[in-house]
Structure 1
């Protein structure tokens, strides 16, 4: 199925597999880019660990910040997983259409159609939780003024803010790029599976007021808010330090920064003020610097309530709301089933070529030949009554010979893979079935009611 020429045709084609495969590739690239951006951000935040200091201000800031930062990476994991699932489902849908088109065209001969390869995506990813924003302060100050001198690291806070903004830009770019790809599908293909894909994408990225409900757009919004929180806390620390210095200077006390003690209080002037400076106690510090504490507390409270607020809760909710791959595969299976039903009703499926066995006895004889070696012994080793343990190569060789001796099977697509069935007889009921999955984890061939065959299954032993 390819796009019609510019002149078009009278019969519209509902879906173009090449379009689906192309968009699947873009989604695979998007997943890689998103993982790169998330990994870069995670590394930057690990380097910024302890950025809030370990005083009361740092603990208050971290109370809302830490859960939000952890939730961000849980949400990114969900978004990355969903994008990979979308890519895989698009290729599966495209291949289902190729198979249906192949089976409907008698001129294409026997054998399987050429299918698109699986996209290079990973099914899941987990990131380490960022370390807490609480950590050793960047200076030791006299206890008498500690509460007026927040000990967080402004440089680390601003580095974290920059990393968040870089990530936010990357997330937005990825979201818009993939959104454009989904639009290209809905604009050029008219099929329920495509509209289902668009609906699935809306659970990953949304613009506008519902952005916080989808993981990728929620991560984009959260990064902007967390960046603002880090910048505002760094600014609040700067303001507290500046205000403390200014107020102490106004009281005739100078602050000297050292690498050993951290801060020393020294008098500006001689006389009576010297004794007051040297003996500055808590009550005097409070009288001079009380406004600094109030302003710093207010700044941190504003960050908690107006900037970060419910970011962590919204991120976790967005991660939980993403549907798993089964939802997309259900849409894919419905498409393939509908096509198979339609093709069966119209009698368009290709009949097996001549010289194939016609009767139940002839078909049973062919199956016995396939399942036994040159000496007439069943292939493989007995696992239990009627069950033979074989290698994957033996299963695939038997599958090839079944196609050669019995013709093309009836194919049923499932979320776990295509099931191939050869019907030997309706009376007595007799079938041979190949399925690419089993409890043991490998492909299996089941035989049912095959005349004079003392075997019911070939399977690969579980390791």
Structure 2
């Protein structure tokens, strides 16, 4: 993350760099979020194994009639708090070279101002991460061997969980390798284009200087005719150089499009289900783990995923005396504090109908109307609070289809979602 933060804007802000950065940003965000969730999953796996061993030890001590002291409770690790927001690769790049101003109006493209040195450094960082993840995956067999030495009904599940984490780390390593390759390939093509353009500009500068000297010598003889001929010849040369440079940049754009189409876009589609699967596993494991201090397990956060969860949350609303119509609830879930949050069909002033009045804003963020109810519920129950809109309206950050979105949501004191809309 340090390298990626240092080299924010490495792709530049021209159209070619922007095309590459748009796909890179999405892939990088998915990879970093997956890495963060995997770190949490590994800690939870360790804690679940430790708790299982402790429970067996308690059972053995209890069954022993020698009045043995109780075993020491295992120390559970807190979930790591890792960065999940990747700085964009789009932004200001290197300045225009000398001579670009002479042809820029005729080229039809902006100067490709990405920074190849920074892109190469990013490539190294991603490839290093890939190697590290493969090393971690290789440690799985040692853990499995230790588990297989034990006899317990839970061992098979524990071994399968370790195997799943190994597969996840290898998949993440492959993703980081691909992202690094995309950085390196773009850096290579960009470097080629820069050298070709600079050669054209250098040649143009030399020719221009030679013409200036030549026509200056002829001026006393031919008068204004030499100036007219010189200017016409120079204009023609400028147009020719502009066409050559335009061809170079168009070729670069084609190569970048191929990187996106052949490598990055397919990677994004592979990463989305991987992240979602790990996220759901983490949430499920969280419900099985006790809180620090021996408190009961934390209720699972997020939208209800089963009819049983939905019914249990509805019963909690009834016990709390909340007024609602169960037949009109379109989404229900629980936030990190254990509070039940619900979204009803509502009307034009509150609820889903009111939220759908912003469907155009959601669509502009890549969220179809059918995804809005669940996205809003996930934002409130699983998202990270990153700010406030207006006086006191919380803004939540949540991943949706590989894109990090910010959603402002109004929730009543009874847990009813009044309104929501995406913000920049």
TM-score by length of 1: 0.53
Matched with 1:162 is 124
TM superposition shift of 1:77: 1.6
Distance in 2, matches of 1:82 and 1:274, equals 72
Check whether the contact 1:62–1:132 (CA below 8 A) recurs between aligned residues: yes
Counterpart residue number, 1:54: 13
Unaligned 5+ residue runs, structure 1? 1-41, 207-213, 256-264, 334-391, 397-412, 417-439, 442-463
Q: Within 2, Cα distance between the matches of 1:326 and 1:153?
A: 40
- 1 CA distance for matches of 2:286 and 2:59? 17
Q: CA deviation at 1:192?
A: 2.7
Instruction: State the partner residue of 2:270.
Output: 314
Give the structure 1 partner of residue 407 of structure 2.
Answer: none
What's the offset of the Cα at 1:218? 2.9
Q: Does 1:192 align with 2:153?
A: yes
Structure-to-structure mapping, 1:397-436, within 5 angstroms: none
Sort the Cα spacing of 1:224 and 1:91 in 2 relative to 1 into closer, same or farther, 3 A: same
Query: Corresponding residue for 1:113?
Result: 70
The secondary structure found in structure 2 opposite 1:85 is helix
Gaps of 5+ in 2: 216-228, 299-336, 339-424
- The separation in 2 between residues aligned to 1:128 and 1:325, in whole angstroms, is 15
Indicate the RMSD between aligned Cα atoms, in angstroms.
3.5
Q: What is the CA distance between 1:271 and its match in structure 2?
A: 4.1
* Residue-by-residue CA offset, 1:118-142 (whole Å, 9 max, x unaligned): 14x2225341412111111211242
**Contact 1:244/1:289, CA 8 A, preserved across alignment:** yes
Cα deviation for residue 93 of structure 1 reads 0.7
- The 1-side partners of 2:71 and 2:289 are apart by 18
1:324 aligns with 2:286: no
Distance apart, 1:247 and its partner CA: 4.6
Point out the structure with the larger helix share: 2
- How far apart are the structure 1 equivalents of 2:245 and 2:147? 63
* 1:91 Cα offset (Å): 0.8
| Alpha carbons of structure 1 residues 59 and 295: separation in structure 2 relative to 1, 3 Å | same
Shift in CA distance, 82/282, structure 1 to aligned 2, threshold 3 Å: farther
Greater Rg by CA = 1
2:192 aligns with 239
Query: What is the aligned partner in structure 2 of residue 88 from structure 1?
Result: 47
Could you tell me which residue of structure 2 aligns to residue 99 of structure 1? 58
Task: Give yes or no for contact 1:55–1:150 (8 Å, CA) kept in 2.
Answer: yes
CA distance in 1, matches of 2:261, 2:26: 14
For residues 372-411 of structure 1, the C-alpha deviation after alignment (integer angstroms, 9 at most, x for no partner) is: xxxxxxxxxxxxxxxxxxxx9xxx9xxxxxxxxxxxxxxx
Asked if structure 1 preserves the Cα contact closer than 8 Å seen for 2:17 and 2:114, the reply is: yes
Aligned counterparts, 1:168-317, within 5 A: 168-177=130-139, 179-206=140-167, 214=168, 216-247=169-200, 252-254=203-205, 266-267=208-209, 271=214, 275=231, 278-279=234-235, 283-317=239-273
- The alpha carbon displacement at 1:307 in A equals 2.4
Number of aligned residue pairs: 278
Shift of 1:58: 0.9
TM-score (norm 2): 0.57
User: Is the contact made by 1:80 and 1:125 (CA closer than 8 Å) also made in structure 2?
Assistant: no
Task: Name the CA distance, whole Å, in 2 between partners of 1:229 and 1:268.
Answer: 42
